[in-house]
Amino acid sequence: MKTLVIGATTNKERYAYKAIHSLIDKSHQVVAIGSKLGMALDVTIETEKKPFKGVDTVTLYINPQIQESYYEYIVSLQPRRVIFNPGTENPEFYAILEQNHIQYETACTLVLLATNQY
């Protein structure tokens, strides 16, 4: 399963970085987009909205105001689901996802991975 982390960072203290680490530990394929180019472990952090293929899950680490510029992009990837981590909750985006038959969860990626519910 491929996961796209949006809001990725090279800062090891940030939850987005920790999520990339946990996803890799659990043998998930990871692609990432952040505000700055860089590397998080072996994952290249892109700054452009690339047309990644085969994305199963998008996990968000960006606030609702920033998410707006990602609505069309995320829908175009046709992921199975989008995870809204704490602080990223966005009812407006939930409605768009529902209209496009994309599941969403308000959950913590790190907790889902740690409890084998991912």
40: domain CATH number is: 3.40.50.720
d(Cα 74, Cα 72) in Å, to the nearest integer? 6
- Residue range of the domain that includes 16: 2-114
Q: What is the pTM of this model?
A: 0.97
Q: What confidence score (pLDDT) does residue 80 get?
A: 98
How sure is the predictor about 85, in pLDDT bands with cuts at 50, 70 and 90? very high
Q: Convert the pLDDT of each residue in 25-63 to its tens digit.
A: 999 999 999 999 999 999 999 999 999 999 999 999 999
Amino acid at 81: R
Sequence-distant (≥ 6) Cβ neighbours of residue 10 within 8 angstroms: 17, 36, 38, 39, 40, 45
Average pLDDT, the chain: 98
Residues forming beta bridges with residue 81, ordered by sequence position: 57, 103
Amino acid letter, 20: I
